[in-house]
Each structure stands twice: as structure tokens, then as C-alpha cells.
A and B are shown apart, each in its own frame.
Chain A
Amino acid sequence: MSPFAIGYFGALIGASSLAAWSGRREALVGAFLLLVVSAFAGIVWGGAALRWITLVVALGAAAVGLAYSFRAFLAAVLPRDAARAIRSAPLTASFGLLTILAYIVTAVFAPAIAPFGESQIVGGAFAPPDDRMLLGGDQLGRDLFSRIVYGARNTVGIAFVTTVLTFLLGGALGLLAATVGGWVDQLLSRLVDVLMAIPQLIFALLLLTIFGTEVVTLILVIAVLDSTRVYRLSRAVAVNIVVMDYIEAAKLRGETLWWLITREILPNATAPLIAEFGLRFCFVFLTIAGLSFLGLGIQPPTADWGSMVRDNAQLISFGEVTPLIPAAAIALLTVAVNFVVDWMLQRSSGLKD
């Protein structure tokens, strides 16, 4: 048994005992389960597995610590109402907020953060990591780290623009259908039914075959296809608001459609729509990443996470982790947004009871 393994199991046994002694039930269960899993993994896969587990646990602990201190920080600096909301937020939500903030900073200051240009060739193809190239080179010898930083700008930026378009289109039509009702509602809803009867990725592939894979085409295709879901949601939300007596009162007063939608309905629909914006962003982001991974999304030489995974995938068969980093970057942002949305949804449903 290596000294590492001895230290590893010693620390776990110590942690379990400490948890048991201080009566922390959840910590005890967690530590002991980890002990059992580690023993099993250690026997089957040897010391490497233990190092992986240590890495994962350490990362998890770091994330928890970061989230915890960020929540305390926000509660300290924000105005009173917001601080109260933040203090009762779960750690996952504060982790999500912090992560989203980090992505925004990276995207905005990409040229300052990245040591090299987006498509600047720095070394040899698949050059190993060194002092100059933090994560090594890609298949053309460009700096992988710089490209990941620029990817934040491109991938996230394109997904964000697409989501905004999706919302403008789907939200406007959904609110209109709910408010006007009648044949407008019927027509739009049946159209959306048909569009939604084709799986989205498949439909996107069909349309991209026809219209080509320019970035603008990509944004428009995804925005139109995804707006069907926003339409459904905003219509459903608005239908519940439209039956309210204050809408009837406004209608009977003789208010215009524009007034009804913008002054009476929209202010009451913001909470679910913001949550939906988060979820839609995740979905659009994953769809674009998926298309880019298939080589049909964002085209080279633009740095983009989906296509970076595809281009460097062969390294994985040599046990390299670097191609997974852009994929992890995608996952991390989606997780973060989902965490925040989850919290918001729980808050708004909790207020109803």
C-alpha cells in the first residue's frame, strides 16, 4: 500500500469518526459511504482511482467553500431586500451566480485574459502543455487555453443572442395569442404544434442542410425552432393572467391591445419568463454546442467549444483530458444557470403557498 493510500484511508476514517462523535448524521453517512466506495475502487482499479476520488472531493469542497463565502459576500454588500433573499438561497444558487459572473467576465475581457490570439498558430499540432501554452496546442498548433477563453465570447455570445431572439419572437406571439384568442390563437398554436412534432435537433439539421451553416443562419434557425417552446410557455402563463378580472376591467375600459399586453399582462408574467429565459438559454446553448460538435454549427476558424471537442477528440484515446475541458466549460455554465433557475422557481412557487 502506498503512503498516499494510507493517508487517504486514514483521513477518511478520521473524518467518519469525527462526524460520528459530533453527531452529524449527514456528514457521517457521506464520509462512510465514500470510505466504502473508495475501498471498492481501490481494490478494483488501484491507486489511480483514489487520486481521482480525492480530486473530485477536493473540487467539490472548494466549490462548496467558494459558494459559501460568495453568498456571505453578496449578503454583506447587497441592499437589504436582495440580501435577505440571498441569505436564504441554497449554496447551489450562489455557486451558480458566481460561475455565471466568471463566464461574463471571461467573455468581456477575453483579449486581455488570453495570452495568444484566437487563431494564432503558436506551436506544433497537439503540442504538449508547457510554460507558454498552459493546456498545450490544438490540431493546428493554436493555443488551447486562449481558444477556450475566446470560446466563452463566441459560444456563449451566440447562444445568448439566439436566446434573446427566441424570446422576442416566441414571447411576443405567445402573449398575442393568449390576449387576442380566437382564430389567431388557433392558427399560431396549430402551427407550433406541427413545428414541435419534429424533434428539434433533427429539424435544425434539415434546415441547416438547406440554408447552409453561416452563423446568421444558425442563429435564425435555432431561434425560430426554439421560439415554439417559449410560445407555449408564455401563452400558458398569459392565459392564466388573461382570465383575471383586472384584464377584463381593462378590456371593458376600451384599452388597446398594446396597452393590455405591455401594461397589464407582461409585468405579471416576468417571474416565470425570466426563469424560462434561463432554461431556454441552457437548451439553446446545448443545441448549438451539439451542432458545432457535429461540425454543422459555428464554423472554423472561430473558436467554439463544441467544435473544439470534435477537433481534439482523438486525444481522448490516449488518455488526455484536455479535449474534455471545453465540454466541461459548456456543462459548468449550463449547470450554473440551472442551479439559479431552480432556486428562482422554488422561490416563486414557495411564495404562492
Chain B
Amino acid sequence: MSVWSLLAKRLGLGILTLFAVSLLIFGAVEALPGDIAQQVLGQTATPDALAALRREMGLDRPAVLRYVDWLVGAAQGEFGVSMANRRPVADMIGPRLLNTLFLASVAAAIAVPLSIGLGVMAALWRGTTFDRTANVATLTSISSPEFFLGYILILFLAVQNPVFPSISNINPTMSFGDRLYRTMLPALTLTLVVTAHMMRMTRAAIINLLASPYIEMARLKGMPPAIVILRHALPNALAPIINVVAINLAYLITGVVLVEVVFVYPGVGQLLVDSVSRRDFPVVQACCLIFAATYVLLNLSADVLAILSNPRLRRPKT
């Protein structure tokens, strides 16, 4: 199969998945015992009040139509109105989404080069003290809940040695440097979690690669170690490493929710958690859709890049 038909197939699958995900998120709320109006007004509500609210929220229309409306709106960045404060959901999410993206980017900017570097080192120096220490350290880091790592950083870097602020109350008027400074602790927490995962996966990918017969062949042709790595291992390592990075960036999404709560960071994760406690369905739906879409897109781009970087697929047989 040629690269293009493979890519088209994968893209089509991605779009299909997005649809399925949106259907699931919309459908889950539909599965609510009673309906949203009932939930808002409680068991004691009069039928008149219920009917009025239903009309106001458009609940008297068929579910299929409401789903189409919701999806079309979501595609244009409109997610309806919050049930808690009657503000448009889009206005609540917009600035917070930028904050969350900022936090995730800072974490990724530190974690990606760090973990790939450490992972390659651990693979090349397999079995040494460095490798074994890294193994224990990363396992410990993976095993720790995000909030534990976050509070430890707060204890050491904010309370005992006030290097960074423990509360990341950023706002749009701040300078970039100030924002970066206040984002540092949550970003470091995320880095700790993601680096451990990413490093272990990079190490495994590289070790797998170095066991290939063509690497042995290069050694048996008398190539020096540096050339074996640079010319023979690296071009083939691209695909697995891209895959590792994409998987872990997707993992950041889950981490971001907890970390934002620990540091009271004004992002989408915090909003999602607050809305869940308030049972503010339109906001929860919107946040879920955004997180899920990001996740799907990251996984999709990993697959696309893996297809593009595979020499066997890039150059067809004839």
C-alpha cells in the first residue's frame, strides 16, 4: 500500500474516532437519570417549572437534532451556556485553554529533550550504575501520584526555600517572564511524571533497535561505535521516538488536571473539576470534548509521523 493511501486511511479513521467520541460524550449526559432539567431543579420541582426550563434549554427537541446543533456549535467554538452562572461556556474556557496550553508547552519543552537524552544514555550504558539508578528513580516517579510530587516540590521549593510561588495565579496582563516564573512549579511536577515514562520508553525503543541484525552487521563491517549510532541506529530510531513523545504528550492531559488543582492554576483542568462538583453539564461536556480531541489528534499525528518516517513505506517497492 502506498504512503498516501495509508495516510488517508489513518486520517479518515481519526475523523471517525472524533465523531464517535463526541457521540459518546453527548450520549453520556443523555443517559442521565431523568434529564438535566430534572437534575437542576431537583425532585420537588413543579411540572410547569420543569417544562419551562426544558423549553429554555431546548430539551423538548429530539436528541439527534440537539446533538447536531451541539456538534456544529462545537466546531465553531460555541458550547452553549453554563448552567451555574449563565455565561457562555466558550468565554469561560477560552482564556483558560491558553493557560493550560502554556503550562503543557513549558512542561513538554523541558521534558522532551531531557527524557530522550537520558533514555538514549540509559540504553547505550545498559546495565551500568547510571542505568540501574535511572530505573529505580523513574519507577518511583511513575508510581507517585501527581499531587504527591506537586506537594513535595511546594514543600521544598516554595515553603522551606521560597524559590518559586506555591500558587500559580497567572493572568493575561503579566509579562512572559513572570508567567513562566509562576508556571515553573506545576510545569516541573508534570515534567517529573512525564520524563519518567518517556525515558523508560525511549530506552526500550533504542535497546530494541540496537538488537537489530543490521546494527550487528555494521559492527562486523568494522564501523566505529559513533558511526554505528549516527548512521545506522539514528535514522531508524526516529519513528519509535516520535511515537514515544506523542504518547507522553497525550499523557500530559491527564496529569494537567491534577496538577492544576494542586497549584490552583487557572486552566481548563481546574475548570473541569469545579464544574464536575457543580454538575455543570455543558461545561463538563465542552472540557471533555477539548481534552479528548487533543488526545485523538496527538495519537493521530504520532501515527502519521510514524508512517512518514518509515523508509519501507516512504519508498514503495517499484
Residues of A within 8 A of B (CB): 26, 29-30, 45, 48, 92, 193-195, 197-203, 205-210, 282, 286, 289-290, 293-296, 306, 309-310, 313, 316-319, 321, 323-324, 327-328, 330-331, 334-335, 337-339, 342
Contact B140 A324 (CB under 8 A): no
- Bound complex: CA A148 to CA B249 (Å): 34
For A290, the chain B residues whose CB sits under 8 A away are 145-147, 258
4 tightest A-B contacts by CB?
A334-B143, A327-B148, A331-B144, A335-B143
Contact B284 A327 (CB under 8 A): no
Q: Whole-angstrom distance from the CB of A138 to the nearest CB of chain B?
A: 16
- Bound complex: CA A208 to CA B284 (Å): 11
Which residues in window 163-214 of B have CB below 8 A to A? 166
Contact A334 B144 (CB under 8 A): yes
Contact B254 A194 (CB under 8 A): no
For B136, the chain A residues whose CB sits under 8 A away are 92
| Contact A202 to B253, CB < 8 A, known contacts A210-B29, A289-B145, A316-B159 | yes
Output the nearest chain A residue to B280 by Cβ-Cβ distance: A209
- Interface 1/0 per residue, B269-293 and A, CB below 8 Å: 0001101110101001101100110
Contact B129 A29 (CB under 8 A): yes
Q: Which of B20-28, B41-49, B224-232 sits within the interface?
A: B20-28
For B18, the chain A residues whose CB sits under 8 A away are 197
- Bound complex: CA A324 to CA B20 (Å): 40
- Interface 1/0 per residue, B120-164 and A, CB below 8 Å: 000000000100000110011011111110011011000111000
For A331, the chain B residues whose CB sits under 8 A away are 140, 143-145, 148
Q: A294-B257, A337-B143 provided; 11 other pairs, C-beta below 8 A?
A: A194-B17, A205-B276, A206-B284, A206-B285, A207-B28, A286-B143, A293-B147, A327-B147, A330-B145, A331-B144, A334-B143
For A286, the chain B residues whose CB sits under 8 A away are 143, 145
Contact A321 B155 (CB under 8 A): yes
5 pairs across A/B with beta carbons < 8 Å? A286-B145, A290-B258, A306-B145, A319-B160, A342-B135
The contact of A327 among B28, B145, B161, B166, by CB within 8 Å, is B145
The contact of B254 among A201, A293, A295, A335, by CB within 8 Å, is A201
- Bound complex: CA A327 to CA B272 (Å): 23
Output the nearest chain A residue to B24 by Cβ-Cβ distance: A194
| Contact A201 to B257, CB < 8 A, known contacts A194-B24, A209-B281, A330-B148 | yes
- Bound complex: CA A48 to CA B299 (Å): 45
B295 in the interface, Cβ–Cβ < 8 Å? Answer: yes
Contact A209 B276 (CB under 8 A): yes
Contact B152 A206 (CB under 8 A): no
For B11, the chain A residues whose CB sits under 8 A away are none
Q: Whole-angstrom distance from the CB of A27 to the nearest CB of chain B?
A: 10
Output the nearest chain A residue to B140 by Cβ-Cβ distance: A335
Residues of B within 8 A of A (CB): 17-18, 20-21, 24-25, 28-29, 31-32, 129, 135-136, 139-140, 142-148, 151-152, 154-155, 159-161, 166, 250, 253-254, 257-258, 261-262, 272-273, 275-277, 279, 281, 284-285, 287-288, 291-292, 295-296, 299
For A199, the chain B residues whose CB sits under 8 A away are 250, 253-254, 291-292, 295
Contact B24 A198 (CB under 8 A): yes
Q: Whole-angstrom distance from the CB of B276 to the nearest CB of chain A?
A: 5
Output the nearest chain B residue to A193 by Cβ-Cβ distance: B17
| Contact A317 to B166, CB < 8 A, known contacts A193-B17, A327-B148 | yes
Q: Whole-angstrom distance from the CB of B135 to the nearest CB of chain A?
A: 8
Q: Whole-angstrom distance from the CB of A275 to the nearest CB of chain B?
A: 14
Contact A335 B154 (CB under 8 A): no
Contact B166 A293 (CB under 8 A): no
Output the nearest chain A residue to B147 by Cβ-Cβ distance: A293
- Bound complex: CA A173 to CA B147 (Å): 34
- Bound complex: CA A199 to CA B24 (Å): 13
The contact of B152 among A202, A203, A324, by CB within 8 Å, is A324
| Contact A317 to B292, CB < 8 A, known contacts A198-B21, A209-B279, A295-B277 | no
- Bound complex: CA A26 to CA B136 (Å): 16
For B272, the chain A residues whose CB sits under 8 A away are 202, 205
- Bound complex: CA A295 to CA B105 (Å): 27
Output the nearest chain B residue to A327 by Cβ-Cβ distance: B148
Output the nearest chain A residue to B277 by Cβ-Cβ distance: A295
Q: Whole-angstrom distance from the CB of B273 to the nearest CB of chain A?
A: 5
For A200, the chain B residues whose CB sits under 8 A away are 254
For B144, the chain A residues whose CB sits under 8 A away are 327, 330-331, 334-335
Contact A293 B250 (CB under 8 A): no
- Bound complex: CA A318 to CA B257 (Å): 25
Contact B139 A339 (CB under 8 A): yes
Q: Whole-angstrom distance from the CB of B258 to the nearest CB of chain A?
A: 5
- Bound complex: CA A317 to CA B281 (Å): 34
For B250, the chain A residues whose CB sits under 8 A away are 199
- Bound complex: CA A294 to CA B150 (Å): 14
Contact B277 A324 (CB under 8 A): no
Contact A324 B148 (CB under 8 A): yes
- Bound complex: CA A19 to CA B45 (Å): 78
The contact of A197 among B21, B145, B152, by CB within 8 Å, is B21
| Contact A48 to B160, CB < 8 A, known contacts A205-B273, A331-B140 | yes
- Bound complex: CA A48 to CA B156 (Å): 11
Contact A294 B258 (CB under 8 A): yes
Contact A202 B273 (CB under 8 A): no
The contact of B139 among A45, A48, A208, A335, by CB within 8 Å, is A335
